[in-house]
Structure 1
Amino acid sequence: MNSFLTTLRAAGLIVAGGVAAAILFALLGSLLVAAGIVLAVAVVAGGLHFLIFGRGKMKVHVERYQASPGGYEMIDITPPRPPRRPRNGEAA
């Protein structure tokens, strides 16, 4: 009889743990779904606001980097140096 009660207690704990896990999963899942809906609504509202009113009042000044003041790139015209030591098969 003692063994039967121990087994019944273990089964009860497993069932209670399963019910608690299911409730927790449902609660967290519903919170994730609610957060996704809020995020989607915010994105759509921001897009509509941009389409209707255009850009906001914030003005951002962006400077573009130029390599040289005239806008021309420098080209290296230095002739190549001869090798320091002769290659295989070449006379020194």
Structure 2
Amino acid sequence: MELLRRNAHDNGVEAAVRVAPCTWGDHDAVAALGTFDVVLCSDVLYGHHREVATALARTMHALCHADGRESAALVSYFAREKLLADVPFFEECGRLFQEP
């Protein structure tokens, strides 16, 4: 987390960006984070088990729809060796999120 905070500071966006830990699937912790305009996910998929991948998708959805909002989720993804292991994440995102 410290590296993320330093990155925000070094890029002059610390006032506009909030860096916070988020435990996927922990509904109370996710709700406590509040609302966001954009949920940015980068380098979060590494061939996780289905339960972990779907927890990430559901957490993203909860963050994007907190308090009835319609926030955007941006996911940066790089296909690695276990590409098929990441399919459950994309399936769950397809089920939860609608295209604009």
Q: TM-score range by the shorter chain?
A: under 0.3
- After TM superposition, the score normalised by the length of structure 1 is 0.22
Q: Which has the larger radius of gyration?
A: 1
Structure in which a larger fraction of residues adopt strand: 2
Structure in which a larger fraction of residues adopt helix: 1
- After TM superposition, the score normalised by the length of structure 2 is 0.20
